[in-house]
Amino acid sequence: MVKNDYIYYVNKQLLILIKPKIIMKKTIGKFTINADGNSGLITVYKEGTMMKGVAVAPAQLEEKFKNMCDQVESHVNNSIKNKSK
């Protein structure tokens, strides 16, 4: 067996294609948004407490992660505007 970072071969036949784990993380204010490519889970934490978790299809992970970041950023900006009034 020849081992590669992405593919395992057995007798020159493709046996398994392994996609590396994709982890994305972004911090906005007190919130941290994480995305895990193996589980397809996007989580939002506020000061260490999970506020929201969403399971998505792996093919949509990056798009949904960006959408979640935009939603959290909008929430944080609105909170700041409301506090300044």
Reported as a single tens digit per residue, the pLDDT across 8-35 is 445 455 555 545 465 899 999 999 999 9
Cα–Cα dist 66/71, whole Å: 9
**Sign of torsion, CA 77 24 36 60?**
positive
Comparing C-alpha atoms, which of 48, 11, 9, 54 is closest to residue 32? 48
Q: How confident is the model at residue 83 (pLDDT cuts 50, 70, 90)?
A: confident
What does pLDDT average to over the chain?
Answer: 79
Domain ranges in the chain?
21-83
Residue 6 is classified by DSSP as S
